[in-house]
Structure 1
Amino acid sequence: MHKLPLIAPQPPRLSEMTEALRAIEARGIYSNGGPVVREFEARVVAELFGGVGAALAVNNATIGLILAIRQAAQGRKGKYALLPSFTFAATAHAAIWAGLTPILVDSDPNDWAASAEAEEAALARHAGEVAVLVPYDTFGTCIDLARYARLSEQHGVGVVVDAAASLGSLDAEGRGFATGANFANVFSMHATKTFATAEGGLIYSADADQVEALRRMHNFGFGAPRSATEPGTNAKLPEILGLLALAKLDEIDAVAGHRAALDKVYRTSLGDTVTFQATNARRQVAQFMPMLLPEGSDRAAVMAELAARGIGAGHYFAPHLAQQPYFQRECLRTSTPVADDLAARMLSLPITDAMTEADVATICDALHAALRKPRIVVPAAPQKILSTVLIGGGPAGIAFLISASKKGKLRELGASLAVVERGPSLGAGELPGYAITSDSTAETFLSAVKDNPEPAIAALTDHPAAREIAQYVGKLGVPLHRTAPFLEAMGERVGAVVAEAGGHVLTGHEVLDSRRTPAGLWQTRIRNRATGAERDLLSENIVIATGGYQSESNVTAASVAGAPLGEQVGTRLMLCDDMLRTGGIDRLRERIAGKRAPRIAIIGASTSAIASAVLLLKSDIPFGAESLVLLHREDLRPWYPSAEAAHADGFTDFGPDDICPLSGFVYRLAGFRLEARELVLRMLRIGGRTPDPRVRLHQLAGPDPETAKLLAEADVVVAALGYRPHALPLLDATGNRIALTAHAPGRPRLADQLCRVTDAEGQPIPGAYGIGLAAGFVPEGRLGGEKSFKGKANGLWQWQNDVGQLIVDQLLGQSVSLAA
């Protein structure tokens, strides 16, 4: 059988260079920038970069990246390096070794390089904190370097291009990739690359002074004879490897041309079957042929079928960086849905110097056959009965598991637990997609990991993401868009403990429904979002942590001042959830475009209502006097740590039933905190504070002409009338849908005071529990809370402490009581 390996290194043969080797021996110069290496540096600039700029040969590309990133970061205040998650580990390692923390961003779905939108969003989010951009020229596609020059200028950041597989690529104008770029571009000459030697790297820049500075760094930082004047290391390329580089330079045009022809055959033969990378290159020096399999393909089965025919295959880069344990611990991660999809569907097929176009045809036929081959169904083993299925691995779900860890019960719980999360990772859910600050303190976020009995979770205290949260200790909350790295790092650690204990973490899966079996178990149907495959999980209990949502139909039907809100405001209605999310203010601006003095009405007395007002006041929308009106039924109450503190501040509108007997807090549950509290204190003129002149408070009390007038005058009406629970479809043993209290109109509850999911009659459903936004749990008895509170209580601290523990105890068979 004719073998076609994925990678077949073919560097030049040292055995055919005897005269050149003898010349090295005769000179007695084996390293330290000898004549062979210097000749290669000069020739590569002349032949591949049009004679523009300079180049430095180094012992490998990873060291080259470390040097270049370190140099690019010098003199800059930033602590981050911004790079795509869909790249090789060397890129992130280099940034870390250079003293920076990588921020991993998503990819472009067309050319698979870093997403421009994701990069610019991260630069805006971390303004002034990014030292270096490290884009990857994914598989030699010739990314737009002019854009990076503009970003460098606009944001004051350095740029280092990871061009590992691109030496010999020609850009759209037919020039060697990176020609004329005034920043470092780092190429690999590893044996597996198209420009194959044994090992080595090349740093090119159009700025010759920059290359000379790197030359000093690569020789121990010697800026004076045998005297270090700057950071340095030993990164010199030996003379013998310089011989290989010179020989490869002689043949690179022929090698690249041959591989380009093979690339063309692949695209012609498979274009209607797989998805290929878009390229800007006139000539792409293919190291292998990357492609995306059709959605739902079984990649492992395809690779096994190809291997049986003697065809090598790989999946670069799967897992991508944000899916690898070390980088999950050491990097800040952003949402990476495109990279997740690339990693799930990527297949790399052979392009080697020895292959022919007939070989490519053979591989394409084999791939077509493998994709057509039906999957072999292996009889399933008897289904294991789990203790619990946790549905939802977002902030509330992970807080529930944190509550178990704080009591040393996570491993006991996790031994027979499955966590099902529709997103690519645990922890963050949709929370970082909001453009407001948290109503939980930074201390609350960090308390989840501080002194946690699980060492790996406790170690997060020193994680870069925890240090990010710690910047907001003592301040008015944490910007929610900055919570993702910490929440995901916590989710990764919690998930690892569950897996170590014998449980299962199923990210990228969605739950369709859960059915009560005749034996009293829960049969939960889940679907793999990448492949569409469905299967069942059988468990004694389910915990629903699927969050809440705002229903436009419920909001429009809500009665305000005696009439349905929708009838009064029509298309001027905007749900506060939409406005509070990233981009929401821009969507609101579109609604008020052309209004010189816009008027906004916010309806509600919830935290979301006040958060909406705070967000609008912090925007650049030109509000006039009382042009932002807050219409509320309930009194607006600020939180205080004690009755004494309230009186000292001049606030007296509370009584004994408004004080939590456990903590002594005034309005522990009903009171506004942090940024919302500051606005409420001003608007109520507490302690002599001056109200914001742009805001007007108006209390609703039945039909009211003034209310109708305010609604009629508003250009946009923001409805902050609470959240409904995402109620998972629950079925009885006959397959009929169970009616739940969560299905009631308005703002219903999902669960009772023991966190048990309740049916339409208010009766608890055995083995079903709920936690999180809109679940409706209200602390009482031994859990504290003021007697006067009538609403829903939502809070990260509650979920990761008493409320979560209430469910944990029931799952582990312990009796619970709310009695004080």
Structure 2
Amino acid sequence: MINVTKTFFPPLDEYIVQLERIWKNQWLTNRGELVLELEKKIKDFLGVNSILITNNGTIPLQIAVKLLGNQGEIITTPFSYVATTASILWENSTPVFVDIHPEFLTIDETKIEAEITDKTTAILATHVFGNPCNIEYIEQLALKYGLKVIYDAAHCFGVTYLNKSIFEFGDISTCSFHATKLFHTGEGGAIFCNDNDLMHKIYYSHNFGHNGPLDFHGLGINGKISELQAAMGLATLPYIDYIIEERKNVVQYYTSNLDFTRLKKMTLRQNTTWNYSYYPIIFESETQLLKVQKVLNENNIFPRRYFYPSLNKVNYVEYSEMPISERISQTILCLPLSHELECNILEKIVSLINSNI
């Protein structure tokens, strides 16, 4: 079975070395030695100024919205994983959707200003499939109207934009370390923030609000990652360059061999160093997509419809028409992409697609 992705498992003996440290320390949670070491190593690898790793990738979004959304209207994209919109609603804010750019697939920055009202508090934009939003435009708008900027950068580990880590932009950026991601801790995530005062609030917000064992800075939840998760991260991080390079080879094969007279691919924004996190293709119609998906499934190949449906159509939001997002969500399919896709499998995938479009 060839799935849309394959989790990287580090060599078992190297993972066991990390587990032995946990047993020796007799420390499982509450920011132990492995968590602190992993934060430092990620910080050094990415070249970022600050990081707080968490128990999953959704908690960072919820904390960001809690601290910056102020239960107001948050302008966001309908083309993202459901956690983006769900986090806004979960924290009692209101998502205001803006349609996407048909080539970059990120929020159409030119349509944001028309949706800004006196209730708007923030912009929550997704770097879709690791492809950056128009950061300069968004941040100029935020400055003009006094808005906060949150970037859902779940797909962006290792991405740089304008020669800086993508996580260095915005008031808060978030990332996922889920098992399906390039770098993972099984379950996990991270928050990035360059404002020391805001980072202090983020820190205590992810630790029940604690200020020492008997005092509290304020309201908080439990977003702490365990030493067991950090052990997986420490065993995986040394292989991240290998993982990205192998995925790059797969991407280059698809790009060179798929028939793009009948298909479209995402346009990567200029000044981006990409991480080869996903390989989406866009069909001429949903009928064509479903035909190809059926043929691939019959051959034990399972791509995935990221992202479907368009989030403006989920049943717990008020519907507003988003024609581009709705069309893209109906016609986009992410092909299998991992560090372990052999040439014969790639040949089969490409052949089945090209002969059925």
What TM-score do you get using the length of structure 1 for normalisation?
0.42
Question: What are the superposed Cα offsets for residues 82-124 of structure 1, whole Å, 9 maximum, x if unpaired?
Answer: 110111110111111222011122111111111112222111x
Between the aligned partners of 1:114 and 1:182, the Cα distance in structure 2 is: 15
- Name which of 204, 223, 230 aligns with 1:235: 223
Q: Provide the residue aligned with 1:60 in structure 2.
A: 56
Q: What SS is found at the alignment partner of 1:222?
A: coil
Uncovered stretches (5+) of structure 2, i.e. residues with no partner:
none
- Which aligned segments of 4 or more residues in structure 1 are displaced greater than 6 angstroms? none
Between the aligned partners of 2:344 and 2:278, the Cα distance in structure 1 is: 16
Question: What are the superposed Cα offsets for residues 608-631 of structure 1, whole Å, 9 maximum, x if unpaired?
Answer: xxxxxxxxxxxxxxxxxxxxxxxx
Counterpart amino acid of residue 323 in structure 1: K
Q: Provide the residue aligned with 2:102 in structure 1.
A: 109
Q: Larger relative contact order (C-alpha < 8 A, sep ≥ 6)?
A: 2
Between the aligned partners of 2:118 and 2:9, the Cα distance in structure 1 is: 44
Q: 1:68 to 1:172 in 2, by over 3 A?
A: same
Q: CA deviation at 1:346?
A: 0.8
Question: What are the superposed Cα offsets for residues 714-766 of structure 1, whole Å, 9 maximum, x if unpaired?
Answer: xxxxxxxxxxxxxxxxxxxxxxxxxxxxxxxxxxxxxxxxxxxxxxxxxxxxx
- Name which of 2, 5, 11 aligns with 2:3: 5
Between the aligned partners of 1:14 and 1:343, the Cα distance in structure 2 is: 38
Do the aligned residues in 1 keep the contact of 2:52 with 2:203 (CA within 8 Å)?
yes
Do the aligned residues in 1 keep the contact of 2:209 with 2:221 (CA within 8 Å)?
yes
Do the aligned residues in 2 keep the contact of 1:57 with 1:236 (CA within 8 Å)?
yes
Q: What SS is found at the alignment partner of 2:144?
A: helix
Q: Provide the residue aligned with 1:253 in structure 2.
A: 241
Between the aligned partners of 1:264 and 1:226, the Cα distance in structure 2 is: 55
Do the aligned residues in 2 keep the contact of 1:106 with 1:334 (CA within 8 Å)?
no
Counterpart amino acid of residue 69 in structure 2: A
Do the aligned residues in 2 keep the contact of 1:82 with 1:133 (CA within 8 Å)?
yes
- Name which of 7, 10, 15 aligns with 1:17: 15
- Name which of 331, 345, 348 aligns with 1:345: 331
Q: Provide the residue aligned with 1:86 in structure 2.
A: 79
Do the aligned residues in 2 keep the contact of 1:186 with 1:202 (CA within 8 Å)?
yes
Q: CA deviation at 1:225?
A: 4.1
| Identity fraction in percent | 24
Q: 1:312 to 1:344 in 2, by over 3 A?
A: same
Q: CA deviation at 1:218?
A: 0.4
Q: CA deviation at 1:57?
A: 0.4
Q: How many residues align?
A: 355
Q: Does 1:277 align with 2:275?
A: no
What TM-score do you get using the length of structure 2 for normalisation?
0.93
Bigger CA radius of gyration: 1
Please list, as runs of the form range in 1=range in 2, the aligned pairs for 1:517-596 lying within 5 A after superposition.
Answer: none
Do the aligned residues in 1 keep the contact of 2:52 with 2:192 (CA within 8 Å)?
yes
Please list, as runs of the form range in 1=range in 2, the aligned pairs for 1:731-810 lying within 5 A after superposition.
Answer: none
Q: Provide the residue aligned with 2:41 in structure 1.
A: 43
Q: CA deviation at 1:176?
A: 2.7
Q: CA deviation at 1:324?
A: 1.6
Please list, as runs of the form range in 1=range in 2, the aligned pairs for 1:622-771 lying within 5 A after superposition.
Answer: none
Q: CA deviation at 1:4?
A: 2.4
Question: What are the superposed Cα offsets for residues 341-393 of structure 1, whole Å, 9 maximum, x if unpaired?
Answer: 1012111110011113453232111101122xxxxxxxxxxxxxxxxxxxxxx
Counterpart amino acid of residue 264 in structure 2: T
Q: CA deviation at 1:206?
A: 2.7
Q: CA deviation at 1:203?
A: 0.8
Between the aligned partners of 1:297 and 1:242, the Cα distance in structure 2 is: 44
Q: What SS is found at the alignment partner of 1:261?
A: helix
Q: What SS is found at the alignment partner of 2:22?
A: helix
Counterpart amino acid of residue 223 in structure 2: A
Between the aligned partners of 2:238 and 2:3, the Cα distance in structure 1 is: 25
Q: What SS is found at the alignment partner of 2:317?
A: helix
Q: CA deviation at 1:240?
A: 1.1
Q: Does 1:155 align with 2:153?
A: no
Q: What SS is found at the alignment partner of 1:305?
A: helix
Q: CA deviation at 1:249?
A: 2.0
Q: 1:304 to 1:272 in 2, by over 3 A?
A: same
Do the aligned residues in 2 keep the contact of 1:5 with 1:350 (CA within 8 Å)?
yes
Between the aligned partners of 1:222 and 1:302, the Cα distance in structure 2 is: 53
Q: Provide the residue aligned with 1:640 in structure 2.
A: none
Q: CA deviation at 1:335?
A: 2.8
Q: 1:311 to 1:215 in 2, by over 3 A?
A: same
Between the aligned partners of 1:47 and 1:201, the Cα distance in structure 2 is: 16
Between the aligned partners of 1:14 and 1:148, the Cα distance in structure 2 is: 44
RMSD: 1.9
Counterpart amino acid of residue 8 in structure 2: Q
